[in-house]
Amino acid sequence: MEDRRIVDLYWQRDETAIAETENKYGRFCFSIANNILRNREDAKECVNDTWLGAWNAMPPHRPEILSTFLGKITRRLSLRKWRARTAEKRGGGSMELSIEELEECIPSRQRIDEGLETAELAEIISTFLEALPPEERRVFMRRYWYFDSIRDISRRFGFGESKVKMMLKRTRDKLLICLQKEEIWV
Amino acid sequence: MKSEKLQDAIGEVKDSLIVDAETEAIGKRNGWIRWAAAAAAVVLVLTAGILYISGAIGRKANPDEKSNAVTEQDRHDEQSDAASEQDHSGPAVVFSERGLDAEYVENPAEIAVNEMPYISREEAVRNLNSAKAVLECTVEEISRIRVSEPGSDSVWFITTMTLSLNRVIRGSTEEERFRVVNAAVTNMPVDFFYYPGLEECREQMHAVFTLRELSDTDVWTIGDQEISVKELGDYSVISCLGFDGTNIQYQNYSIPLTELEN
């Protein structure tokens, strides 16, 4: 079923919208959730919560791209669950590594302004990513939006793992410079 | 905590960037999938050829042996008899009788969750137009089996279905019901190979299927065992697609029936 039709079903409060969404995007959302949580049961729960979130958001929302709309909900829910689950026992996993990598992007002895809205920061990062060479941008997105492992990224793009790591390192360095220039600090 | 804020912000980047990251993988994967398909086809053809040649040589050397040979039909009947005696009748028997470790699985999506096979729109149209028939069918029965290949990390993931015909979309058929089969293989050495859409098939689902007729020379080699694909079905099914009456749908694109050749 076309996305537009699925969104119409949500607006009509037709519960088949959820079945159609699950049929079309269940695997996509599960993949995102499982990349973050590495636990099938938790991932399934987040995907089910995604359908609930979509049901509650439409209407009034009418997403232009249903896949990214759902993916963002799944990502948010999964991160929230992951943070709650690991609040007291972090270290070692793929997600932790991803977070540690991102910390390199934050200007030293400074911190991202707590008052800065996530949306504003997202806008800055979007502009930064749009200016990157396509391959570099896509590898960055695979790692930090989809939370793919280095191995998965290297297989996906046909690069060696060391090349992927090097690309990510360079992109993080560039992001650090970008955030410094934007004076993203207190 | 500060990196979490950065993580959250990355999550809210423009949709076009998210789609773009997915699109790149599609392009790369397409080439990879084509290569995998070609490799699988080569394996199939080579195996069939070797079997044919060795069979022909064997018959020449021992002409009397032919009368004692187990025919494909005999083997099929034997499998059918054995299958009917088991709770999970059917495909798993074919493998277990050859000493292969076969087990039924409920949800194929759990087999390789990070793999998101994709076929481009152009490729999908090409597949639809090159199939023997494109049919709208109802899934009457479906079985999914995982077969571990002895002595390797490879896993065969095999889906068999019985389909009942609702409507012929392209091509022609005299049949009303179809036994179909599909396989995916991990680490072989082409890694995971899966036809798109089939993992979502379930009983009583209406969908569009593209069928290719199987021949006696279609053989899968699993470990040191040769499995005649015709033991599992009469047709290989290469996709299971959505249909709204005028458009065939797969993931993010739809293909109007007008694009199909008669």
Around Cβ B61, how many Cβ atoms within 10 Å? 8
Residue range A62-98, pLDDT digits in tens: 888 898 999 999 999 999 888 888 765 655 456 666 7
| Better-predicted residue by pLDDT, A69 or B252 | A69
Torsion region of A141: left, alpha or beta (phi above 0 gives left; psi -120 to 50 gives alpha): alpha
| Sequence-separated (6 or more) residues with CB below 8 Å from residue A117 | none
Yes or no: say if B194 and B184 are a contact pair by the CB < 8 Å rule: yes
d(C-alpha B54, C-alpha B3), whole Å: 64
Residue type, B74: D
Beta strand B225-228 pairing with B219-222: antiparallel
ipTM: 0.84
Of A183 and A37, the structure prediction assigns the larger pLDDT to A37
pLDDT at B78 over 70: no
Task: Identify whether the C-beta of residue A180 lies closer than 8 Å to the C-beta of residue B46.
Answer: no
> Measured between CB atoms, which of B9, B15, B242 is closest to A68?
B15
- What average pLDDT score do residues A116-125 get? 83
Q: Does A92 reach chain B within 8 Å, measured CB to CB?
A: no
Q: Which helix (H) or strand (E) holds A122?
A: helix A118-130
Chain A 143-172, CB below 8 Å of chain B: which residues? 144-146, 148, 152, 155-158
From B13, B19, B32, residue closest to A126, measured CB to CB: B13
Quick check: A138 and B200 CB within 8 A?
no
Q: Look at residue B218 in the predicted model and tell me its pLDDT.
A: 82
Which has more pLDDT, B108 or B234? B234
Any B CB within 8 A of A38 CB: no
Q: Model-level pTM?
A: 0.47
pLDDT in tens, B188-208: 444 344 444 566 677 888 888
Average pLDDT, chain B: 68
Banded model confidence at residue B126, pLDDT cuts 50, 70, 90: confident
pLDDT digits (tens, 9 = 90+) for B5-43: 888 899 999 988 998 887 544 333 333 333 344 344 444
Mean pLDDT across A1-7: 86
**Banded model confidence at residue B89, pLDDT cuts 50, 70, 90:** low
pLDDT (average), residues A129-135: 90
Measured between alpha carbons, how far is A113 from A60 in angstroms, rounded to an integer? Answer: 31
Find all residues with CB under 8 Å of A26, minimum gap 6, and list them.
Answer: A47, B109
A71 touches B: beta carbon within 8 Å: yes
Asked if the Cβ–Cβ distance from B114 to A24 is below 8 Å, we say: no
B219-241 burial, b at 16+ Cβ within 10 Å, e below that, comes to bbbbbebebbbbbbbebbbbbbb
Q: Report helix, strand or coil for A91.
A: coil
> Integer distance in angstroms from the first to the last C-alpha of chain A?
48
**Which of B4, B9, B116 lies nearest to residue A28, judging by beta carbons?**
B116
CA dist., res. B181 & res. B227, Å (int): 13
d(CA B112, CA B116): 8
- B5–chain A nearest CA distance, Å: 7
β-pairing, B177-185 with B235-243? parallel
Give the residue from B1, B4, B18 with the most A CB atoms within 10 Å of its CB, the best one to mutate: B18
Are residues A158 and B48 in contact, defined by beta-carbon separation less than 8 angstroms?
A: no
What per-residue confidence (pLDDT) applies to B237? Answer: 83
B262 vs B260: CA distance, rounded Å: 6
